[in-house]
Structure 1
């Protein structure tokens, strides 16, 4: 076996990121105005490879969520256990989101990044219309489950899968046969996840290289303080707040947790999509951390849909930042309004494209700030989106472990085993192990 084949998936992804970064910035500075680079490399090869990788991950999301959630719900024949599980999960998600945006507001008020002189002339931003609360509640229940699956409407898929799985668990012997079929399908989908993850180093290389070729350096320089305030709060929330909550509420070792979630971090950072990362998140939670399928299959898809702590942090910092830029003083009531609105909006606008900016527009409207101010931060939002997605998935896994531990559906031996569920570096090794 060659030395390179001994590299784990995490190491290969890191190498792909570093090589992509060097390749992208190298081309950008060596050939700054070359049409060939823009047409055939940035928007050609790198765009194609990166998009195919993202598509491979998204291809698995709907079948994985539906099948995995049906399998998990089948084992929850008691309605009270399903209600308890849902209540715990949603409560934890809302609590961490509220905590995240509170930390963001505190840090921004303390550091005041918006006091630097920034041009606010000619700012343009048109916010997408956010749905009303009544429409959100109506849209939770699918009128056509197949259409919901084709459109990737995760809340509707979750509702239908829960109802479907619950019905299977209540039809006796026939239900057991159907449940066994879904268990087999779930194993097949997880195998496909493993195969797709082998493409990660190449996909990550393409995504990072394209980002390095297209990032707006001037916008980054102008918003340096804002960028690092958001980044600092994101890192603090991801590496301090979550581990503390995990230790206090479940007693689990946060260092083991952070070590085992590295692959999920890298996927989330590279794809900037919690949904695209979902197959990897479920794989890691079940096989690396020891969470039972019936817990992970419920809490993680729900978290990828409604848990947006990273986005909430951006909203908190951006709201105060925009107020400072325009010289508008916010009252204590305004700050409380920001916290409540952003926390509730993390559920209410989950299915809307450009969800982070939609939610921010809603928050700005609530406290009377100009929505056009969003134009100030768009230039660096792509970079921050990658980090806040990593924070989002960390929150999903943290809550999942806490809930699983509280429900006695957690395998501590798997969690403490450093090699449990570790992906092999080559497909041939996987075949030989069978």
Structure 2
């Protein structure tokens, strides 16, 4: 199937049309159809791809870290990666707050706050986040999908393999074969992507409805504008001036992964596809991709930071509260730090937003104002998140010429397709 990307895009368009059509013309029929068709269809695809996330993150990170060899090289690349992620997240939220302050999507009187409710889950403290990076039981971390703990353990094992070198050749060969096996399963699962994308977008659009989109149009458009600016200007500049590549070439070739990210709204679920796409279509060296992209799927959340920046200013405007420069800087700092502990799953940005609102004295229940369109925006910001990971991987791959390829991946259906 050589046109899988086109099929995913067609499925997304059909899903939007059918979901919105049912919501407008047959709202009573949408509930049963969503419950017994759209949601299960999307959930089957999500479960298929999510079952591969832990194996591919663990195996690829161990291989990627071991392939870097010299611990000094690992430290240099790790430092460049984390600095890139933190800087791009700070830029993202600065763009978001600046745009929201300029356009003022939440001007007093335009939004009805009557009956608005939201019960946030408790966000982990900074200390807990740092402590939770170290697993007490690596196997339990894999069972529970604790990505930061898995990453820590995988990098530690990778350093050990690199240090012991030839003594661990058998283990390296086993991990290489395990990676090839996982990617083969990914190739098979990707044939279900158009059906999953259709079910997920139809459910999201039909559930949100036209009324919710209209009432929050200003907020919706400001978030989308900030995402687009960050994608084109920030990542485009990285690709053009740091990786010395064409931004148009970059977007065109990475489009298959972006379409899957949009459908799943999960950086973690999209990781197998985004890694394969970066390696086969962007030419990112496998050790770099295996190290940078799993790390980015866990700690690089530029799209989520943009939502938090716009939402905070939006809510302040709705309640006629003026944010001081200190409060704006607080939002920026918290959003950057919170992105490190944000899990790569749908909707988790709302939990982090609750923590941000609490710090600047805004009502947490106001999150209820944006719930109607958050699922749709979650899809868009996930596509931005994984694009940032790929841009970072491309930049590091192009600026680290002494890193050698380790093995060739079999090209998956999604990377074979032409956008």
TM-score range, shorter chain: over 0.9
Alpha-carbon distance, 1:21 to partner: 2.5
Alpha-carbon distance, 1:426 to partner: 9.8
SS in 2 for 1:198: helix
What's the counterpart of residue 18 of structure 1? Answer: 13
The CA distance in 2 between the partners of 1:211 and 1:63, in whole Å, is 29
Q: Confirm whether residue 64 of structure 1 aligns to residue 56 of structure 2.
A: yes
The CA distance in 2 between the partners of 1:354 and 1:15, in whole Å, is 25
CA change 1:291–1:267 in 2 (3 A) is same
Which is further off, 164-173 or 332-341? 164-173
What's the counterpart of residue 76 of structure 1? Answer: 68
2:23–2:209 CA contact under 8 A, matched in 1: no
**Aligned pair count?**
412
Please give the per-residue CA displacement for 1:288-322, whole angstroms capped at 9, x wherever unaligned: 11112211111111111111111111111111111
CA change 1:179–1:410 in 2 (3 A) is closer
Alpha-carbon distance, 1:30 to partner: 4.5
What's the counterpart of residue 330 of structure 2? Answer: 337
CA change 1:28–1:123 in 2 (3 A) is closer
1:338–1:367 CA contact under 8 A, matched in 2: yes
Q: Confirm whether residue 280 of structure 1 aligns to residue 270 of structure 2.
A: no
TM-score normalised to the size of structure 2?
0.93
What's the counterpart of residue 365 of structure 2? Answer: 372
What's the counterpart of residue 85 of structure 1? Answer: 77
CA change 1:411–1:85 in 2 (3 A) is closer
TM-score normalised to the size of structure 1?
0.90
What's the counterpart of residue 9 of structure 1? Answer: 4
SS in 2 for 1:102: helix
The CA distance in 1 between the partners of 2:254 and 2:177, in whole Å, is 26
What's the counterpart of residue 374 of structure 2? Answer: 381
CA change 1:349–1:280 in 2 (3 A) is closer
Matches within 5 A, 1:34-433: 34=29, 38-39=31-32, 41-117=33-109, 118-350=111-343, 354-408=347-401, 421=411, 423=413
1:290–1:410 CA contact under 8 A, matched in 2: no
2:266–2:346 CA contact under 8 A, matched in 1: no
Alpha-carbon distance, 1:246 to partner: 1.6
CA change 1:249–1:410 in 2 (3 A) is farther
2:268–2:344 CA contact under 8 A, matched in 1: no
The CA distance in 1 between the partners of 2:99 and 2:176, in whole Å, is 47
1:130–1:349 CA contact under 8 A, matched in 2: no
The CA distance in 2 between the partners of 1:351 and 1:394, in whole Å, is 14
2:257–2:273 CA contact under 8 A, matched in 1: yes
Alpha-carbon distance, 1:75 to partner: 1.8
2:243–2:398 CA contact under 8 A, matched in 1: yes
2:338–2:352 CA contact under 8 A, matched in 1: yes
